[in-house]
Amino acid sequence: MPRGPANQQVQSRRDQPMSDRTVNWVRWFIYSAALVLILTAAAKFYSATGSARILTATDQVLHLTYRRVMLLAGSLEIAIGAYLIVGRNSTAKIWLVLWLSGNFLFYRCVTDFLGVKVCPCLGTIQSMLPFAKANVDFLLALVLFYLLFGSVGCIVYQYRSFECFQSVDVAPDG
């Protein structure tokens, strides 16, 4: 490895842990993901207690009633959201968000492939919002991609940060 002032600057940056700015960004992403998951879970729970006919229909992908799908998805979102707030392992938190958002994306792709037009992602609460159904669906897709790409970005950064620590030149000068 060539020696010199430019290389020493790069080397000194490698020796430092993640910057406070980056750690704050990762922390902010984790807490924002927790907030999103808890809010969508609350909407699912509220809707699942309703009496809309759609809740008794069977989901074509999971073969459960929409009421059960919403209760299961809401429970999973609450559990992961709670772990994002109180858990200690930030790597596990990010991987959980990636896993969940990946599953949501897979579910959306399968329903699109099957031609399913009904997706009560927020349940009956969607009808109470002052937005068109298409706008709500678009917003939910944005939230999904935020969770997906945000978690991927955090994982890539953590991997690169770890890789920098592994490639530090520890040989003595001489």
User: What's the pLDDT score for residue 132?
Assistant: 82
Residue 125 counted as domain residue: yes
User: What's the pLDDT score for residue 13?
Assistant: 46
Long-range CB contacts (within 8 A, 24+) of 145-153: 146/36, 147/33, 147/36, 147/97, 147/100, 147/101, 147/104, 148/98, 148/101, 148/102, 148/105, 150/29, 150/33, 150/97, 151/29, 151/33, 151/94, 151/95, 151/97, 151/98, 151/101, 152/98, 153/29
For the chain, 174 residues long, give each residue's pLDDT as a single digit of tens: 555 555 444 444 444 455 555 677 889 999 999 999 999 999 899 988 888 888 888 998 999 999 999 999 999 999 999 999 999 999 999 999 999 999 999 999 999 899 887 766 666 667 777 778 788 888 889 999 999 999 999 999 888 776 554 444 444 454
CA 81 to chain centre: 10
> Tokens 């596990």 label which residue?
92
At 116, which amino acid appears? V
Residue 131 counted as domain residue: yes
Residue 9 counted as domain residue: no
User: What's the pLDDT score for residue 88?
Assistant: 92
Residue 4 counted as domain residue: no
User: What's the pLDDT score for residue 162?
Assistant: 64
Q: Domain containing 130: what range?
A: 22-166
User: What's the pLDDT score for residue 30?
Assistant: 96
Residues 6 or more apart in contact with residue 93 via CB below 8 angstroms: 30, 83, 84, 87
Residue 29 counted as domain residue: yes
Residue 103 counted as domain residue: yes
User: What's the pLDDT score for residue 22?
Assistant: 61
- Apex 153 CA angle, 112 and 150, nearest 5: 55
* pLDDT tens-digit series, residues 83-123: 999 999 999 999 999 999 999 999 999 998 998 877 666 66
Residue 15 counted as domain residue: no
Q: How many domains does the chain have?
A: 1
User: What's the pLDDT score for residue 20?
Assistant: 59
Residue 14 counted as domain residue: no
